[in-house]
């Protein structure tokens, strides 16, 4: 069984928990897009560790993890995670593979990301994670990228770095009045990473082709969410990769014919970190309450996430783009205690009711949510084990979401622990 797991909102849906559950049923876990802008908090006994790049499947003994060619890889961040895992006696070598097609994030990508954000006017700010993700993908598309495979031949790598850096230093000087970065410093840094990084590097499409032919079960884990997808998200307030289903195909180099199921993860409400329109955002008091109760702070940047009612317009858009077979709904327990609960089922834009997500950024930024209001429930859900134990109003809320999205909910999460999961 090969499954793709997708975030169906703006990321941070709680994919990590479902990935952990599905990893148990898989042989191989593949990350296919994004970079160390993602974050998955993992608890080790009394310590907490955040994995940004390496699939959390690495914590399950015997599972193979693959970082696909669609990922942008910052060697510095990669080795930090490798060392942190090894320090905890987790075997990484021979179990973790990196695509030799993956583009590498260089210091100038991080610098450009930061300078661009700092110099942007308020309305043009994206609120990026400043990890160099956007500039690295931009270079990939501009054919100025440097891939892991380019490290194999040091002379070639040096030549390539020299010519790309020349161009990027021009940008730094002319646009940002920055003196530019030194070739020598970057080259010597990457020369140090080179041997060790190449030990992890393989031809991942070939590896995955052979594995799926032999009947191995693969889990493709998406980072971020569909509304952050560069094509299908709330452009330009998106990340620079394809976080939706297509990214799993191009980013790992497998054919869509090997995929059996696509699973979408939604939160029982909506959150967003970074800039961009958010029609169903809560009023301030409720925002503070859910932020605190739901611990809605970014795993990568620590920024508070904006929170709002469940937006069925964007979720329906995700269902269609990804062809979701089923959904997992997370953090339902956080909504306990609210007298009423709303679902945004349409937008009012310029006096007209629109049921579909508008591609025009201007229209989206003027969208007023049209709500359906349902009764809330008081009961604490954190101990619920079966469907029939949910309060009637919680059942009605879930059923309504299923109906609007025309997609069955198969997993309901009521807390961060594995046991706090109801399978339907
Ligand atoms: P970038 O990916 O750092 O370029 O940031 C672009 C946008 O995507 C910003 O709004 C970020 O806050 C958002 N973003 C990137 N990664 C994540 C994530 O893992 N969860 C939620 N938002 C993210």
- Can 12 be counted among the known catalytic residues? yes
**How far is C-alpha 157 from the chain's CA centre?**
30
Closest CA to ligand 1's atom 23 = 224
pLDDT in tens, 73-103: 999 999 999 999 999 899 999 999 999 999 9
| Confidence band, pLDDT 50/70/90 cuts, at residue 371 | very high
Cα 273 to ligand 1 centre (Å): 7
Task: Please work out whether the CB of residue 277 comes within 6 Å of at least one atom of ligand 1.
Answer: no
Closest CA to ligand 1's atom 19 = 38
The pLDDT of 384-411, averaged and rounded, is 98
262, 6 in Cβ contact below 8 A? Answer: yes
pLDDT of residue 39: 86
% the chain with pLDDT above 90: 91
Phi-psi region of 339 (alpha: psi -120 to 50; beta: other; left: phi over 0): alpha
Which residues sit opposite 272 in a β-bridge?
306
**Going by DSSP bridges, is the β-strand pair 306-308/310-311 parallel, antiparallel, or unpaired?**
unpaired
Q: Which atom of ligand 1 is nearest to the CA of 39?
A: 19
Q: Which atom of ligand 1 is nearest to the CA of 228?
A: 8
pLDDT in tens, 216-274: 999 999 999 999 999 999 999 999 999 999 999 999 999 999 999 999 999 999 999 98
Closest CA to ligand 1's atom 10 = 274
User: Radius of gyration over alpha carbons of the chain, in Å?
Assistant: 22
Task: Please work out whether the CB of residue 228 comes within 6 Å of at least one atom of ligand 1.
Answer: yes
Residue 334 has pLDDT above 70, yes or no: yes
Residue 45 has pLDDT above 80, yes or no: no
Residue 212 has pLDDT above 90, yes or no: yes
Q: How far apart are CA 212 and CA 257, in angstroms?
A: 11
Sheet holding 409-413, edge to edge: 201-202, 96-99, 64-67, 28-31, 218-221, 3-7, 261-267, 326-330, 409-413, 421-423
pLDDT of residue 225: 97
The pLDDT of 210-214, averaged and rounded, is 97
More confident call, 111 vs 298: 111
**Matching residue, tokens 């609960």:** 341
Task: Please work out whether the CB of residue 129 comes within 6 Å of at least one atom of ligand 1.
Answer: yes
Task: Please work out whether the CB of residue 134 comes within 6 Å of at least one atom of ligand 1.
Answer: yes
**Going by DSSP bridges, is the β-strand pair 340-349/310-311 parallel, antiparallel, or unpaired?**
parallel
Return all residues near 11 (Cβ < 8 A) that are at least 6 apart. Answer: 38, 223, 224, 225, 228, 243, 273
CA angle 146, 152, 153 (to 5 degrees): 90
**Matching residue, tokens 């009023």:** 283
pLDDT of residue 43: 67
Query: Which domains does the chain possess?
Result: 3-99+202-263 (3.40.440.10), 103-197 (1.10.300.10), 267-423 (3.90.170.10)
Residue 44 has pLDDT above 70, yes or no: no
Peptide bond before residue 236 is cis, with ω within 30 degrees of 0: yes
| Confidence band, pLDDT 50/70/90 cuts, at residue 309 | very high
pLDDT of residue 50: 81
More confident call, 346 vs 61: 346
Q: How far apart are CA 244 and CA 369, in angstroms?
A: 24
Helix (H, G, I), strand (E, B) or coil at 332: helix
Task: Please work out whether the CB of residue 126 comes within 6 Å of at least one atom of ligand 1.
Answer: yes
Helix (H, G, I), strand (E, B) or coil at 152: coil
Task: Please work out whether the CB of residue 128 comes within 6 Å of at least one atom of ligand 1.
Answer: yes
Query: Of residues 27, 40, 100, 232, which has the active-site annotation?
Result: 40
pLDDT of residue 339: 97
Q: How far apart are CA 103 and CA 278, in angstroms?
A: 32
Q: How far apart are CA 241 and CA 244, in angstroms?
A: 9
pLDDT of residue 2: 98
pTM for the model stands at 0.96
Burial state string for 274-293 with b = 16 or more CB within 10 A and e = fewer than 16? bbbebbbbbeeeebeebbee
């Amino acid at each position: 069984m090969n499954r793709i797991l997708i975030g169906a909102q703006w990321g941070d849906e709680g994919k990590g928990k479902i990935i952990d559950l599905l990893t148990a049923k898989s042989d191989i876990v593949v990350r296919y897009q994004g970079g160390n802008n993602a974050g998955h908090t993992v608890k080790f006994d009394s310590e907490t560790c955040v994995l940004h790049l390496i699939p959390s499947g690495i914590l399950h003994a015997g599972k193979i993890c693959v970082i696909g060619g669609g990922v942008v890889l910052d060697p510095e961040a990669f080795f930090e995670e490798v060392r942190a895992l090894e320090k905890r006696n987790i075997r990484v070598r021979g179990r973790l593979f990196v695509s030799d097609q993956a583009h590498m994030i260089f210091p100038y990508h991080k610098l450009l990301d930061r300078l661009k954000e700092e110099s942007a006017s308020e309305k043009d700010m994206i609120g990026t994670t400043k990890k160099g993700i956007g500039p690295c993908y931009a270079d990939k598309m501009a054919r100025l990228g440097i891939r892991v495979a380019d490290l194999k031949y040091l002379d070639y790598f040096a030549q390539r770095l020299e010519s790309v850096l020349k161009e990027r230093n021009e940008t730094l000087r002319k646009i940002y009045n920055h003196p530019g970065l030194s070739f020598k410093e970057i080259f010597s840094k990457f020369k140090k990473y080179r041997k060790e990084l190449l030990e992890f590097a393989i031809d991942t499409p070939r590896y995955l082709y052979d594995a799926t032919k032999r009947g191995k079960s693969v889990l493709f884990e998406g980072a971020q969410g569909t509304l952050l997808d560069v094509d299908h998200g709330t452009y330009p307030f998106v990340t620079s990769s394809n976080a939706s289903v297509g990214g799993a195909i191009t980013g790992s180099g497998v054919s869509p014919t090997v995929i059996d199921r696509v699973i979408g993860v939604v939160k029982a409400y909506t959150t967003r970190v970074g800039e961009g329109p958010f029609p169903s955002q809560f009023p301030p008091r409720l925002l503070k309450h859910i932020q605190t109760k739901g611990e809605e702070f970014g795993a990568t940047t620590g920024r508070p996430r904006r929170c709002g009612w469940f937006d069925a317009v964007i979720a329906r858009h995700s269902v269609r783009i990804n062809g979701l077979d089923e959904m997992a709904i997370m953090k339902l327990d956080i909504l306990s205690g609210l007298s009423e609960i709303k679902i945004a089922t349409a937008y009012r834009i310029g006096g007209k009711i629109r049921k579909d997500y508008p591609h025009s950024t201007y229209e989206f930024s003027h969208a007023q949510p049209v709500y359906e209001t349902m009764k809330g429930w008081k009961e604490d859900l954190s101990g619920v084990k079966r469907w029939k134990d949910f309060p009637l109003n919680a059942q009605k809320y879930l059923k309504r979401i299923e109906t609007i999205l025309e997609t069955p909910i198969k997993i309901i999460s009521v807390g961060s622990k594995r046991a706090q999961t109801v399978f339907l």
